[in-house]
Structure 1
Amino acid sequence: MLLCAFPPPSGAQTTYLWKDPESGAALTCDRCAPGTYLRSHCTATQRSVCDACPPGSFTELWNYIEACLPCSACGVNQEVSARCTAHRDTACRCVAGHYYVSEYEMCLPHSTCPCGSGVVSEGSLTSDTSCQPCPWGSFSERVSALDRCTAHSSCAARGQQLVLAGAAWHDSVCANCTDARERDAAGCLRGILPGFFIHQNIPVIQLQRLLSSLPQPDPSPRWEVMGRKELHLHLNAWVLRADVGDLLQLKKTLRRAGSAKAARKLQKKLDHIQKKLNALCVEDKKEE
């Protein structure tokens, strides 16, 4: 049993009016301190009687309620930042990768910046990711909540020549002019293909068809149960291990998958690289 002798903070209301049911007299009773609840009201001869809140419950204010409040549970995408005590409710915060939106009273995932845009400021527990389109001379080839735009590579610094100027979604493509065969042009595409698949925003069903048509070890994964992000990871892995012959067949495979527009875009890139290689090689031969 506890009496209300807990020192109150300045300005706290520590009494309440109560009508004695036996005498009908109006009494001024003591409230119970935070961490306690009212077990019995005061009488003409006895002060209010308070008890400590049992485990799993609390009161934060001076009160005269007859039961403590149950401790709250954290919501979806939240975790406990401070456990519930007798005088304080559970404190929650958003889990990593999420931020709190007071309008909805819930934690939402940080937004990702699309391919061709980079992160200006990363999301926090209270704010979303901020993105901006990559400025001229820089690129971002991934969908990410962390990656900033990266400067295009300098071909001259590598001792190579530019065969495809960088764009907002891919790096510059550099090459040495050893010969101008179509196989070399296809090999130059390897570095921009991961960004190409994302930038073209190919529908999931077409990505699934594309992967099922590419050379794969048996047994093949179940593409039909995978989402866009996982499908892109498998495509990127294929690009790394594909030989130049497989890359040359990619535009045909895209058409079979129903992505004729992406196939045309890929052919356009390939033709541009091929034309640039041909021109560079002719110049090299003249200098010889």
Structure 2
Amino acid sequence: FVPLLLLLAELGCSAQPTYPWKDAVTNRKLTCQQCPPGTFVAQHCTRDRQTVCKPCPDLHYTQYWNYLEKCRYCNVICEEKQVEVQQCNSTHNRVCQCQEGYYSEMEFCIRHSECPPGFGVEKLGTPFENTQCGACPRGFFSSSNSSTKPCQPHQDCEQQGKGTHDQHHDTLCTSCKLGRSNGTQGP
């Protein structure tokens, strides 16, 4: 019983898709075979002949098994700040996405946000998502606006016996630790 079930399932999966059609001459209802992607129905089936499929002309496509009488026109045009990532071909329409440094929001390409000083990039922007920023943790800094740079580690002044740091700038290592003098006296 199980082998029979598997055989039927395999036959069902590999069978060519069909569609109902009414023969104009005989008025009989027929089951016609669909055309594969990249083709269209040139002639519907009759009781004596299977469906006749023809390839899509240039700049036209069909993406799925179908019974269309003509292929769809490749109508996607890449807009400003978009690049073509897939050319129009017989099985797919043209595909566009935002160029590097931009992401798509409500069908517009918007420049990736820059993280301000004190914040670094936690996740780079993609053509589909904006940059994600996060505050620099203790021991790290970011001194400029950037849509690509993560927080940078401070120099290890403590190890050198020198200065301290904050989240907006790199460490400026000095000979004196905060709150101590270097032995020179003022006027």
TM-score for both structures, normalised by structure 2: 0.70
SS of 1:10 mapped into structure 2: helix
Over aligned residues, Cα RMSD in angstroms?
Answer: 3.5
The aligned amino acid for 1:119 is V
Q: Secondary structure at the match of 2:88?
A: coil
In proportion to residue count, which structure has more strand? 2
Shift of 1:37: 0.9
Unaligned runs of 5+ in 2: 1-11
Closer, same or farther in 2 for the Cα pair 1:156/1:10, shift >3 Å?
closer
What residue in structure 1 maps to residue 82 of structure 2? 78
Which whole-Å deviations, capped at 9, do the CAs of 1:51-75 have from their partners, x for residues lacking one?
Answer: 2100111112121111111223345
Correspondence 1:57-72 to 2 at 5 A: 57-71=60-74, 72=76
SS of match in other structure, 2:13: coil
Q: How many residues align?
A: 172
Question: Which residue of structure 2 lines up, in the alignment, with residue 140 of structure 1?
Answer: 142
Deviation of 1:157 (Å): 7.7
1:1-288 matches, cutoff 5 A = 10=13, 14-71=17-74, 72-99=76-103, 104=106, 108-153=110-155, 162=163, 166-173=165-172, 280=181, 283-285=183-185
Mean Cα deviation higher: 39-48 or 139-148: 39-48
Q: Residue 37 of structure 1: SS of its match in structure 2?
A: strand
State the alpha-carbon separation in 2 of the partners of residues 14 and 106 from structure 1.
38
| Residue identity matched to 2:119 | S
SS of the residue aligned with 2:114? coil
Percent identity, aligned pairs only, is 35
What amino acid sits opposite 1:25 in the alignment? R
Would the aligned equivalents of 1:12 and 1:62 in 2 still touch at CA under 8 Å?
Answer: no
Give the superposition deviation at 1:122: 2.3
In the superposition, relative to structure 1, how do residues 51 and 134 fare at CA in structure 2: closer, same or farther (>3 Å)?
same
Q: 1:174–1:47: structure 2 CA closer, same or farther, 3 Å change rule? A: closer
Q: CA deviation at 1:34?
A: 1.3
Instruction: Check 1:37–1:76 CA distance in 2 against 1; reply closer, same or farther (3 A cut).
Output: same
**Deviation for aligned residue 1:151:** 3.2
Quote the Cα distance in structure 2 between the aligned partners of 1:123 and 1:280: 46
What is the alpha-carbon distance in structure 2 between the residues aligned to residue 156 and residue 39 of structure 1? Answer: 80
Q: CA deviation at 1:108?
A: 4.4
CA separation of 1:28/1:157 partners in 2, compared to 1, >3 Å: closer, same or farther?
closer
2:168 partner letter:
W
Aligned to 1:238: none
Q: Do the aligned partners of residues 156 and 27 (structure 1) sit closer, same or farther apart at CA in structure 2, a change above 3 Å counting? A: closer
Question: Which residue in 1 is equivalent to 2:5?
Answer: none
TM-score with structure 1 length normalisation? 0.49
Tell me by how many angstroms 1:145 deviates.
1.5
Cα pair distance change 1:42/1:78, threshold 3 Å: same
Code of the residue aligned with 1:88 in structure 2: it is: H
> Which has the larger share of helix?
1
- Structure 2 vs 1, CA of residues 86 and 166 (structure 1 numbering), >3 Å: closer, same or farther? same
